[in-house]
Structure 1
Amino acid sequence: MSLATDRSSLIRINKEIGDMRAKEAAEVKRSAEAQKKMFAAQASATKASSASSRASYASAAERESKNMIAAQSNQSRYSDQVASKSKEAARLQERIVNEEERERKSTQAVDEKRRRDDATRQRADVEREKKAAVARQKVDRVLQQRISDLEAQLAEQLKASADATPSFSLSPPEGEQAVYDVFISHAWEDKAEFVDEFAQKARDAGLRVWYDRFSLRWGDSLRQGIDAGLRGSYFGVAVLSPNFFAKEWTNYELDGLIERALDGSGRLLPIWHRLTKDDVRKYAPSLAGRLALNTSLLSADDIVAELVTLRDSYRDSSEA
């Protein structure tokens, strides 16, 4: 049986015990009254002067005696019932106490297990986070080392390429007193996303940059300006992109840069912007095998740094 059922049964039995005790008390009172009346009738019978009076009192005494005996019998029966119900109530009370204790211990065990599980889970989370942190640090170290190795390889390749580049003489563009370090060929649509920032950072790094926004003025001939910039620049940077290959002017500039690279009078430096090698093969197969920098891997600052290194290496080799 459930604890709730036992509690309900105990309440009912205690009520029954109360009712029976009230009935027992009533029978005690009835027995006492009958005994009192019996004693009074017996006393009157001894004092009666006539036989008929004595007989009448004796009959009354006998009747009250029977009432007393009946009341005492009822009292005894109620007393036995109270005792029986009290034992039943005691057993229920003991069972309820035991069940409540069992539930208390069970709840306590559940709470304790929950606390242990929470503590175990927290320790596992801490340990997992420690392992994850160690793994992240390891990956970061590996990536950093790979980046450093790639940067070193790239710098070495750029230097070797610069050392192998034949020297060539340049003439400053008309109206200029010095040649440019770099000519930037690009599509107009790529200015905002990359080229403007790259050109400005190159200029800030001390490079002399031929860039349409820096070098052309209102009324200048676009073709003549481009030709002059191409002739008067050490390096020609081509920011190759889907937009670049879709433009007539950029292809004109690219032809000029390739021609100068082929005859040894210039150096083409390609930058891939939003291009893969497969894209370059599709647009310009001859450029797919040429070492290029990629804007998806290097920032404008990184590319400017490589350009400065290449310019300095080329100057050193030329002076030597």
Structure 2
Amino acid sequence: MSIETRQNRINRLNDEIAKYRSKIADESSKAASNRSKAERITFGKNDSAFTRKSKLNRQQGYLKKASESEKKVAGYNAQVAKLSENLSKENKYLQREEATQRKKERKQQQDLQQMYEERIRELESQTLSSYMVAAPHNTNNFEEDHTKEFDVFVSYASEDKEVVESFVLELKKLGVRVWFDQLTIGWGDSLRRSIDNGLRKSRFGIVFLSPNYINPNKYWTTQELEGLMQTEGEFNRKILPVWHKLTKQQVLDYSPILASKKALTTADYTVEELAGEFKKILDPKQK
């Protein structure tokens, strides 16, 4: 049985129990009211036989109604007990099924992460080998590599344009050479060719991860991220994630590899501070 079906059963049982408890409260109130009415009937010494008989009949009527309500309460309580027992069983089944599902999801997540890591190692090995053949004389660290046209390629979702533009402005104030589509792509330029060119000519890749960025329907952000990750090992390029309105779990669900990287967040840093942190990486001597 699926977890959803099990949960629907539990919901129905809870609804039935709630209805019976409402009936119990209603009948208990009726029983108490009728017993109270019966107790308020008094018999006087001067009552005639007719009056006494009338009072007695009314009293017995109230007591009968109270007894009927109490019987209903007992029946409803029995139903609640039976439903509660079934509910307890269903909850235990649900807990076991959820535990099995979580175990299955963890296994899938581990397999996926292992696949990602193996793919990244394979790509790094391929790009490093090709780089060593093409330029064996270049052994500089990425901090010392000034052969690139841009210091950083900024990848972001268009919905986050406002905060990213502010960040880019702070980078430019610090003298950082930024590939940013709003600044770099000219009128009539090919978008795909311009992005590819920016990826090749940038030393670092800053990825503004946000709910908009990881949206599965986003084509360009996916393409940019894949381009950055596939060439991360080439020429010592490094990906620097910035989390914007995201949780650790959301990033982990999107990409275990990205989640394993140290990231800064817009919740903890202003755009000025983020730019300053990048400048420290770019020029460690100015720390």
TM-score in terms of structure 2 length = 0.47
Larger Rg: 1
More helix by share: 1
